[in-house]
Amino acid sequence: MLVALAGGVGAARFLDGLTKVVKPEEVYIVGNTGDDTEIYGLHISPDLDTVIYTLAGLANPVHGWGIQNDTFEGLKALGALGQETWFQLGDRDLATHIFRTNCLLKGETLSATTATIARNLGVQSTVMPMSNDRVRTIVRTPAGKLDFQTYFVRRQAKDEVVGIKFQGAAKSRPAPGLLRAIRNAEGIIFCPSNPIISVGPILAVPGIRTAIERRKCPSVAISPIIGGRAVKGPAANMMETLGMEVSALGVAKIYQGLVDVFILDETDKDLAPAIQKLGMQPVFMDTIMRGPAEKKALARKAVQAVRKYRAL
């Protein structure tokens, strides 16, 4: 089993490739729920849904999140009722949130509900939230503390980030079976996700970081930063304002002690000695996932890295 730590769109694209180069049932995905939010009383898990929709072949190819060819009649009707509509929830997507919220109201766990959604949409990999407990990413800005979706979607990630907090993380527990999956994994893969706001919340759940530190299998990370720029999203800006080094090396520093092999873009070849100094083996390739071929090539490289490192 390969255990993959995943955020949203970048991770989903990589996992789309991974589940095509290894058996999808051999992939155990740990998803970030720090981005979860409640809108219109519905529980929304953007990163879990992005991964599920992508693996189910349903994702909107332009945004990477939401459902392809979805309509927005429900949202328009909510607008007519005087509700705010800054978070684009499509009609078919709303069905997922209604179903999830109903299951949670009946007392089911988020992990059980996520498994049902994934299975019913035809996803063969395990998709596991990092925790069944409530954890929320809070972004501290000069304008005050903002919940993640307010910062990211409503205010378009324009505020300066002066701090990040994963509210509830300290008291949260890993989802059932998650630590066992890490202990028994053949390899651990850090998907090309934002190390602070996507992988950060997962590592903040007590027990997960320690389980990875004590791993008996190889661990591989793919840099989401290429040539000092984020492939997508606010990672680069955020790292800069938090005083971190905006480069693949900055990402590697965050993962020190957790990762054995670090895959980064060819354009960052000069970083090789510094990555080695952190105790990681650098592997270079074209890491931009332009289409299905590149997604699979990147996934193959990660799987090879797991197998090669194992053989060392």
The binding site for ligand FO1 (CB under 6 A) comprises 7-9, 35, 46-47, 49-50, 65-66, 87-89, 93, 149, 152-153
Residue 36 CB, nearest approach to ligand FO1 (Å): 9
Residue 96 CB, nearest approach to ligand FO1 (Å): 8
Q: Which is nearer to ligand FO1, 113 or 281 (CB)?
A: 113
Q: What pairs with residue 67 in β-bridges?
A: 59
Listed residue (114, 112, 125, 145) closest to 36, CA to CA: 114
Residue nearest to ligand FO1 (CB): 8
Q: Which is nearer to ligand FO1, 28 or 65 (CB)?
A: 65
Q: Which is nearer to ligand FO1, 9 or 18 (CB)?
A: 9
- Residues 166 and 35: their CA atoms lie apart, in Å, by 10
- SS3 call for 250: helix
Supply 165's token pair: 């907090």
Supply 29's token pair: 């995905």
Listed residue (277, 308, 7, 284) closest to 187, CA to CA: 308
- SS3 call for 282: strand
Residue 3 CB, nearest approach to ligand FO1 (Å): 19
- Residues 135 and 117: their CA atoms lie apart, in Å, by 21
Q: Which is nearer to ligand FO1, 88 or 267 (CB)?
A: 88
Q: Which is nearer to ligand FO1, 23 or 154 (CB)?
A: 154
Residue 167 CB, nearest approach to ligand FO1 (Å): 16
Ordered DSSP codes for 55-78: HTT-B-TTTSSSBTT---HHHHHH
In the DSSP assignment, the letter for residue 32 is: -
Residue 53 CB, nearest approach to ligand FO1 (Å): 8
Listed residue (159, 168, 225, 203) closest to 36, CA to CA: 168
- Residues 248 and 253: their CA atoms lie apart, in Å, by 9
Residue 63 CB, nearest approach to ligand FO1 (Å): 7
Q: Which is nearer to ligand FO1, 35 or 260 (CB)?
A: 35
